[in-house]
Structure 1
């Protein structure tokens, strides 16, 4: 007798999904290197990193499209992968949305959405209509995929993923084929729908801004490992490593020296925070934190400027040769070659790295 698919029901207080020291190799290449990850009911996780970091392979192991070489995957209270467990993709009951949408070209919108529903179910038609209404596609139920825009196809793909009521939806670069303006709108709508339905999700993306804007937590990967798993605010303001500091946002790492309870860098000095031990110290300076003063001693030179809507991004070279950037409103007018003083904005406490990692 075939086991029924997993459902969205999760015992109170339990995690929906957990990966436990999961490893995946392709030949001699280790794609995923012992990662552990949890997802709670209704939680949206954005997984981000450079190409080849292992994020899509991780997603495929959750979906059941790849089998881990070691470690375990637990979904909705049941082990679905591990040394003594394997539940195939079609029995996991997860929703999948891919970059190319993967719609059936010979089926109408409503038949695409209903593809994963029991054909003889008395509630099938009503459920199709319900999810089409949810994604604002009911008026186009009779159209075929080639008659839809890219954004409309993405909405249909999401509706199809949600139709069976999965405990979690996995989105692999689901918005990357859309143009920039439409991409932001579809992403916002998708998150709103997931929130409305209480559906958990893992969103795979290479776009750091998309990850920070979307996830309750952002999981930053590199080389098959998780560099940091944190809220977007924590990852941006308190990066765990040099890689995270520069990956989640524009940043320059400034060398600093410790002396008598103070930290001194080329642009600022501050009281040494507690927990700072011995080792190489760096301050994480982001453009919005860097101030410019054309009336100061002028120890930095403006070498480039870039208009960015309401702001101008100035690139400066310090006396040491270090290059950093400062984001300023248009009221600040500086010419190329101008000599300026550089500092940190009042109230800013920059992140500090010791030997390349955040002090604990």
Structure 2
């Protein structure tokens, strides 16, 4: 039988998420030190390292809470994976009390300290760095692998820029820091050298998009978000001379605003943030305890009601069985009960109805019943 594919859940407007890799061996210590420093400075309201007993084997989980302008509370959860030869992968999900504003600080900056050589700022699939320029590999095979990986990964927004000519020092600077802070650790900027245009477009051909010479393209991802048209997110000319790239920045901002499904693994990460949250305020703890009391009371009421229903049904069955035995008399054999089917209440209802009908049939005629007709001969005499 054919089954329809599962449709990914949409990303809520209140949610911000990204992931990456820390290439050094001291990721847990870096997180603890930075979180403690931000709390002491008053940037964070509080943070918590979830005990090992409550996390998956080999994982570390950190939670943090802070406020953004407008007294909006943000809760965030960072999961640090087990160490491998390439480092430790991390996943970060944050949720605010109202729709996310890209002008708010990046949640990644609330967990990790930032500097130019920060070992945590490497994107997971392509290896590109956040808030920096990531040159496409010189090897054609590797170049195609990177672009295909960028297209298929929907955790990040991938921006591809073609250098029409070798840029100077100002042109080699990343354009990502010019975007709102909420995009600094969600956008990866890939740069194609002048001679790589044809190879890049050959790799992109299967996705129906094309990088213009000396221009830029926001990759749609796979699947592309609803409302994506390649022409709307293609910039024909990008001047890498320090000029403010207004058209390019607008294209990235518009793409970030499109509704998108949660990326692969994003639904589980969001569920963990919502269902396994440990960093509670006193008011939140009281509210949770009250909620538990209400749920226990409702469960107890349901159990009590179910018990009363079964008791009432048993009493009715007992009365019906008593009436059946009285009506049958001592000489009538008891009829074997049919094998029950359905729910207990359905079985009991059918049994009661059967017993009532049987009792009616066995009940003797009353004294006021019809008399027997006398023979015709006696009427004639």
TM-score of the pair, normalised by structure 2: 0.24
Flag the structure with larger Rg: 2
Greater strand proportion: 1
More helix by share: 2
Q: TM-score, normalised by structure 1?
A: 0.25
